[in-house]
Structure 1
Amino acid sequence: MTSSKQSKRNLVLLSRSAAAIFAIYGSGIGFAQAQSSDATAKANDDTQISKVVVSARRREETLQDVPVSVTAYSAEQLSKSGVADITGLVLTLPNTTMSASRGTNSTLTSFIRGVGQQDPLAGFESGVGIYLDDIYLARPQGAVADIYDVERIEVLRGPQGTLYGRNTIGGAVKYVTRKMGPNTDVRLKTSVGSYGQMDGVLTASTPLSETVRVGGTLAKFKRNGFGTNFTTGEDNYNKDVTAARLSAEFLPNSSLFIRVSADTSQDDSNPKHGHRLTVGKISGAPILSNVYDSRANLNTALGHKQQVTQSGVSALVEYQLESDLMLKSVTSSRHDKSYAPIDFDSLGTVDFDVPALYKNKQFSQEFQLTYTGKAFQGVAGVYYIDANAYNKFDVRLLGTSTFTEGDIDTKAWAAFADASFDLTKDLNLSVGGRYTVDKREATILRQIYLGTAGSPAMGNPAAILFRTDTNLTKSDLHREDKKFTPRVSLGWKASADQNVYASWTEGFKGGGFDPRMNLVGSKLSLDKAKQGFLPEQISTFEIGLKSAFAKNTVLTNVAVFHSDYKDVQIPGSVAIDTNGDGKDDSFAGVTTNAGKAKIDGIELEATARLTDAFSMSGMFSYIDARYTKYIGAGNIDVANLRVFQNTPKQTASVRANYDWDMALLGNSGKLSLSSSVAFRGKTYQFETPTPILDQDSYKLWDASLVWSRSDNRVRVGLHGKNLSDVRYKVAGYLFPTLGEGSTTAFYGNPRTYTLTLDYRF
């Protein structure tokens, strides 16, 4: 398709999308008017949907008023639905995929509107930013955090960067923890469930004086495995996580708030090994019947069992300079370490084993100045991050051990600003911009040792060096990327209950270096290696409508968007022949910039309080993500043969909830019965369609029965997840030519039941 035809196609799409929004808007007014007489008779404060307050634009606004694509979950919603960790939110989020990464329990893979990052190795930044109280988490290790001690979670879709923190090109997920109150507060949550689940979370806070409050949380999450490792006899897909958080808040006067926090977590779960989808090429090992079972033999890395530890300290200072002017400082330091035994072949022999170590550290500082006047609001700030990502691993395969070490430094700073002006009583204009400088330096070493006992760096000092394929230092590998990314948004309050907005935003993610590069086996030139991969760029145009009907008993949010995506970073691994005998005997990282892509989509979210007892909510999204230029081997454009990974075309969900008054053990309260069904369309695991690994469309059915005491001090819930016991793939490895053949898959959780008790002392 020529560029002119493509442009016309985009204009037609956008014009039709705009027409659709205004058609919905017009029919929405008719609906509201038609229902007004009945609504007046029946509606009251109890039937109205509670307003959700978010801080997506660095100031508190209701979800329906903010002209941004954002979905928010309150602590109350999360508790009543029984969502255990961040990946559980994906079933109700438009155009979003989040799951534990391949072979891990707590490393996050996330995609929003087709933009994300699958590989957690050093040198790659996620396209989706994860924030803990305004602190950007630079690495995905440990990001699959269990949800506790939160006030709400906000998920923003589209490029972010003019309002806070790190620039993220696809979207952002924000954990917002609650501030401590003026009275002593002690809360206990316990859970027991299928597969031996036993969880406990104890949270307490108390004032030491009128100006000082302290608090903390201790949590333990434990569960047996969904399957068995028949080689080691240990559980596969089990869970053993310990977490803690301490905070102190200081309120010297009404204008100053200071919070100092420290948190830590440790994941001691067994290695999560994949399920082979093919018979062993050499051994003839059959396919196991249970997709959660494995025969993997690798259980340690550097003599250490699988473990992920992370910790961080932070300081937040908010100083109210004037009634409408606030200065904020956010300072943070974080570290994490992962021992990761990855058995690619999932068999009991040393055929394709990769013991690995990941270490990350970061320091960040952000200053914000926020103004919230009546006709003008805005935020301006500066952000700095100094991060190091390090990994080393062996590839034990076909009589050799290939050692790879990558050490990547990132230093980035940015200045940003965003301002909103009331042009008229009903028309608002927002403009913003961000200037970012990203600097990266890398050291990469790749060596081949004889035998499969491993390299010296991974615990075998007697190893004999055969060859060094890559030995590049920071004097060889360094780059600096600079970019200004603007944002413009126009909001129109068409009526008291309808808000229309249109926005155009640019996003940017810096370039870098693949820490697995091989200058020999993959025939990568030195000049190409020094260049690294280029920055990604995206520009997104979006039109949205947020509406309330029938005296705030029905809420709808709809958005359509079009994105031009350039220089898409595609990290991947390919099998290579290191000794020239015509047989693949190792693999190397090959990261390319795909060229260009177009992404069009629509997102619809709705909530309805039909009576004071019965409510429903739902979501539907559609996305058409396609490469328009993708240069492959031989300088051939293979765009028509490539697909977007982790981006199903359709996703949808519907949830119904019914409440009725019910006393329990002499206490008045309310019983809630809810049930939900979620649909996800076909999902590709890689950019090249792979039928054996790609997941066909599927549906998940959940249900909950929750009793809450009228004072909300006691809550008891029974939660069933994946009640139809569907088996669905969330990740996989594909190296069919290496050794026994490594085609393995990882699956989402089977059917589970959990009984929870929340008690507030």
Structure 2
Amino acid sequence: MINKTFKLSALAAAIAGAGVTPTVMAQGAGVLENVVVTARRTSENLQEVPVAVTSLSSEQLTVSGIEVLTEVQQFSPNTTLQTSRGTNSTLTAFIRGVGQQDPLWGYEPGVGIYIDDVYLARPQGAVIDLLDVERIEVLRGPQGTLYGKNTIGGAVKYVTKRMSGEAEGSVDITAGSYSQRDIKVTGKLPLIEDTLFVGFGYADLNRDGFGEFVTINPSLGKQDKENYNKDLTAGQVTVEFTPTDDLFIRFAYDKTEDDSNAKGGYRLLPSILVDAPVPSSVYDSYTSLPTENSVELEGYSLTVEWDAMDDLTLRYIGASRESYSDTNIDFDNTPLDVFDVPAFYDDENTSHELQLDYTGGRFSLVGGLYYYDGESCGHFDAVLGFLGRAAFGTPGLTREVTGCNNSESTAVYAQSSFDITDKLSMTVGARYTKEEKEAYVRNGLAFENVYPSSGWIPGYVRPDDLFFPQVLGQDSNGDGILDSPSTEDWSRFTPRVGVEYQFDDTTMFYASYSQGFKSGTFNPRATVNEKAADPEIVDSYELGVKKDWGSSLRTNLTLFSIDHQDRQYITVTPDPDDATVLNQNLGNIKGSTVDGVEAEVSWAVNEALSLDFALGWLDGEIEDDPSIATPLVGLSNTPDYTANLAATYRLPTSVGEFTFTGNYYYRDDYILFEDSDLLQQDGYGTVNLGITWVSENDHWTAGIYGKNLTDEEYMIGGYNFVSVGDDGNYIPGLGGDLTLVSYYGDPRTVHFNVGYRF
């Protein structure tokens, strides 16, 4: 961020030639803005926080035309935030090679997502469209002390704006490529001056598909053929009450409905069972399932802050969230029932946190108590109808799995920083977490095509006499009916120790050790009554230096080393002796190690121009583990290099201020699955440009933004049910077809936005 004083440049002259008069002022050195973050659960200057963190303000997000959380990955080194396969709203998140790709119930993320310090437990619905945001923070490395379990890779924090002042409102309308048509309305209304506010936000976001379903099973009747489309509505209401200067209360409610179609994948190999060649576009597909898809999210939260003393704040953060989604994922992506997976997910969770924040002259402390109770359930049918008819002469074939994986977690934590000398300080923290999980799975086989409920496909009536044996849980009388789930509990003490040396007013060196904890879990696809997988542990060592070179140049450098132990790993392979059996085994491998470097540079070249550069490099290796039949070849979703170069130029004129932005983002090559390099994305770069205008009275805004202007095609997900023989030829996998499928990021798009603030 830089001061808004500028001089005439060649670009300004060009605009002046078009009838717009630039404001001419003396040129001077640019000044970087102080950035405030809450990475350590208290407000601090970014340059004084001994944590690798990237912060993007609402203004930076706006002038860059960023509309959705996944775009933030460009600005944070060694970070992957991408839309998962099959849906528009499910998030795949990795930081420094640590994350979780499988979104099935029971599996928990390795990167925590937070909205105003409320934890989003499930990846479904975590691809958040940005609405009324103050900033987004990306914390890299395990955050096991202050944020707890499931932040072994890092955390992403979405922070909304607090309300103050007079009544305000805004309307933003966007139109763009693929018939994009969005409207966002936000506002606030003071009911009692400076005391009681009501805020609201509403978004209706629509876009046609990037491609289409070229062929759909005709028995489904008329289906929407758009692929990669968008049909989403979201709303939120917030009440903020400040009865005294020392007390702040916020109640927030939000609801999102995403009715975008299920996403079809791109076949990289032609089908050998039906007429389904490689499509002409990577966004085109085939399907034998309905194209309908639905994700519903709803949540409440209550935050209470009391400044008990000048240097002591007490907080309560409570939340309740639930989500439901039904989806149709055609794994093989053909108009034949080779490998179809209709499914639904149903999640509920509540959380409560009591927190103390003390900041004294030479000593600070953040501590608290945390409780989480979550229920995550689901049902899917792996429909292998073609295999059933061809191999057994039956009407079809279905492997059905249904179950729940529930979690109750309690924790106590504290982290303190204290000065040893005027320049040397130390940070010591710890968290004790106890977690209990219970789970059941019913897994069975039907020699017909089975779907989750009647009417799932036209004319389908679900039988009421399907029998599926118990595979995970307690069946005391042996009748195949579970009378209690399987249970397991774990506890862990996760420490953090660091030292900081303030060399001078603008230079800080720091070194830290921290540990992250991700609890054990039960296999949601269990085919035998297997025990739970052990927890994952991440030990992280970090060296960093944060330096401001005068007022115009900032360099932050981090070196890190990660030891990721007992990684949970699932293998999904057909049984060579029985084509109806799908072996799905969950266990732990030894782990992996990652060493890396991250550099972030901000330079206010002058009062008009600023440059930002982010570079991430890592060297990751999975340890050899003879218990894994298929050797693991590398870390998934984790390129060795990520780099971003961004420029911002501000130009005030007689009709308002123009901001020109552009960035080039590069991701090195990476694999999508750790046990195969058949789905490998080569290194690629994207170019993004934008122009934003704000009127002199700040009421009107307009902008035009181009994304991925070189139209790069890059994989972000896929399915691999094929192998390669010694002769180099492909061997069919489950279902008997050559199922090698990928999903892609957005193509080149351009959108125009106009807004009015009042």
TM-score, with length taken from structure 2: 0.89
Deviation at 1:455? 6.3
SS in 2 for 1:162: coil
Letter in 1 for 2:692: V
Letter in 1 for 2:171: L
Q: 2:728 maps to what in 1? A: none
State the distance in 1 between where 2:596 and 2:274 align.
47
Q: 2:747 maps to what in 1? A: 750
Q: 2:119 maps to what in 1? A: 136
Q: 1:690 maps to what in 2? A: 677
State the distance in 2 between where 1:362 and 1:463 align.
30
Deviation at 1:475? 4.1
Q: 1:571 maps to what in 2? A: 570
- Counterparts of 1:216-227 in structure 2, within 5 Å, are 216-227=200-211
- Counterparts of 1:652-667 in structure 2, within 5 Å, are 652-663=643-654, 667=655
Q: 1:613 maps to what in 2? A: 608
State the distance in 1 between where 2:472 and 2:95 align.
36
1:451 aligns with 2:448: yes
- Counterparts of 1:122-161 in structure 2, within 5 Å, are 122-161=105-144
SS in 1 for 2:473: strand
Contact 2:381-2:401 at 8 Å conserved across structures: yes
Residues 586/49 of structure 1: CA separation in 2 closer, same or farther (3 Å cut):
farther
SS in 2 for 1:533: coil
Contact 2:430-2:494 at 8 Å conserved across structures: yes
**More displaced stretch, 448-457 vs 644-653:** 448-457
Q: 1:185 maps to what in 2? A: 168
State the distance in 2 between where 1:680 and 1:504 align.
28
1:202 aligns with 2:201: no
State the distance in 2 between where 1:505 and 1:43 align.
46
Q: 1:409 maps to what in 2? A: 406
Residues 671/517 of structure 1: CA separation in 2 closer, same or farther (3 Å cut):
same
Deviation at 1:496? 1.4
SS in 2 for 1:103: coil
Q: 2:720 maps to what in 1? A: 734
Deviation at 1:430? 0.7
Q: 2:313 maps to what in 1? A: 326
**1:243-269 CA deviation, whole Å, 9 max, x = no partner?**
000011111111110011100000010
State the distance in 2 between where 1:427 and 1:334 align.
43
Residues 436/728 of structure 1: CA separation in 2 closer, same or farther (3 Å cut):
same
Q: 1:8 maps to what in 2? A: none
SS in 1 for 2:743: strand
1:67 aligns with 2:63: no
Runs ≥4 residues deviating over 6 A = 455-459
SS in 2 for 1:448: strand
Contact 1:675-1:703 at 8 Å conserved across structures: yes
SS in 1 for 2:370: strand
Residues 295/501 of structure 1: CA separation in 2 closer, same or farther (3 Å cut):
same
Letter in 2 for 1:236: N
Letter in 2 for 1:385: Y
Contact 1:515-1:589 at 8 Å conserved across structures: no
State the distance in 1 between where 2:466 and 2:224 align.
34
State the distance in 1 between where 2:660 and 2:462 align.
61
Q: 1:507 maps to what in 2? A: 516
1:89 aligns with 2:72: yes
Contact 1:586-1:738 at 8 Å conserved across structures: no
State the distance in 2 between where 1:233 and 1:124 align.
31
Deviation at 1:675? 1.6
Let me know the Cα RMSD of the aligned residues. Answer: 1.8
Q: 1:31 maps to what in 2? A: none
SS in 1 for 2:60: helix
Contact 1:134-1:165 at 8 Å conserved across structures: no
- Counterparts of 1:484-563 in structure 2, within 5 Å, are 484-519=493-528, 526=529, 529=530, 531-549=531-549, 551-563=550-562
Deviation at 1:184? 0.4
Q: Which one of 337, 362, 369 corresponds to residue 349 of structure 2? A: 362
Deviation at 1:344? 0.7
State the distance in 2 between where 1:392 and 1:98 align.
26
Deviation at 1:540? 0.5
Q: 1:382 maps to what in 2? A: 369
Residues 469/690 of structure 1: CA separation in 2 closer, same or farther (3 Å cut):
farther
Q: 1:392 maps to what in 2? A: 379
Contact 2:118-2:317 at 8 Å conserved across structures: yes
Contact 2:133-2:159 at 8 Å conserved across structures: yes
Unaligned runs of 5+ residues in structure 2 are 1-25, 217-222, 388-395, 475-482, 723-732
Q: 1:479 maps to what in 2? A: 488
Contact 1:450-1:464 at 8 Å conserved across structures: no
Deviation at 1:585? 4.2
**1:351-389 CA deviation, whole Å, 9 max, x = no partner?**
211110001000000000110111111111010000000
SS in 2 for 1:76: helix
**1:560-584 CA deviation, whole Å, 9 max, x = no partner?**
001111101123432335xx45xx4
Residues 71/43 of structure 1: CA separation in 2 closer, same or farther (3 Å cut):
farther
**1:135-189 CA deviation, whole Å, 9 max, x = no partner?**
0111111000101111101110111132246552110001100011131011122
State the distance in 2 between where 1:730 and 1:83 align.
19
Letter in 2 for 1:307: S
Q: 1:27 maps to what in 2? A: none
Residues 757/588 of structure 1: CA separation in 2 closer, same or farther (3 Å cut):
farther
State the distance in 1 between where 2:331 and 2:448 align.
18
**More displaced stretch, 584-593 vs 389-398:** 584-593
SS in 2 for 1:591: strand
State the distance in 1 between where 2:581 and 2:602 align.
52
Q: Which one of 587, 597, 603 corresponds to residue 598 of structure 2? A: 603
Q: Which one of 364, 371, 376 corresponds to residue 358 of structure 2? A: 371
Deviation at 1:628? 2.1
Deviation at 1:312? 0.3
1:428 aligns with 2:425: yes
Deviation at 1:51? 1.2
**1:268-317 CA deviation, whole Å, 9 max, x = no partner?**
101111011111122252111101011112116xxxx3100000011100
Letter in 2 for 1:485: T
State the distance in 1 between where 2:360 and 2:32 align.
28
State the distance in 1 between where 2:659 and 2:582 align.
53
Q: 1:19 maps to what in 2? A: none
Contact 1:248-1:260 at 8 Å conserved across structures: yes
SS in 2 for 1:486: strand
Q: 2:19 maps to what in 1? A: none
Q: Which one of 718, 733, 737 corresponds to residue 704 of structure 2? A: 718
Q: 2:38 maps to what in 1? A: 55
State the distance in 2 between where 1:384 and 1:43 align.
55
Deviation at 1:449? 1.1
Contact 2:714-2:744 at 8 Å conserved across structures: yes
**1:484-506 CA deviation, whole Å, 9 max, x = no partner?**
01001111111111111111001
SS in 1 for 2:71: helix
Residues 633/499 of structure 1: CA separation in 2 closer, same or farther (3 Å cut):
closer
SS in 1 for 2:156: strand
**More displaced stretch, 208-217 vs 734-743:** 734-743
Deviation at 1:233? 5.2
Q: Which one of 626, 631, 636 corresponds to residue 626 of structure 2? A: 631
Residues 228/124 of structure 1: CA separation in 2 closer, same or farther (3 Å cut):
same
**1:8-44 CA deviation, whole Å, 9 max, x = no partner?**
xxxxxxxxxxxxxxxxxxxxxxxxxxxxxxxxxx996
Deviation at 1:594? 1.4
Q: 1:592 maps to what in 2? A: 587
Aligned residues: 692
Residues 477/629 of structure 1: CA separation in 2 closer, same or farther (3 Å cut):
farther
1:243 aligns with 2:234: yes
**1:478-536 CA deviation, whole Å, 9 max, x = no partner?**
110110010011111111111111110011110011111112xxxxxx4xx1x211100
Letter in 1 for 2:685: K
Letter in 1 for 2:587: T
Unaligned runs of 5+ residues in structure 1 are 1-41, 520-525
Bigger proportion of residues as helix: 1
Contact 1:48-1:609 at 8 Å conserved across structures: yes
1:262 aligns with 2:253: yes
Letter in 2 for 1:713: H
SS in 1 for 2:73: helix
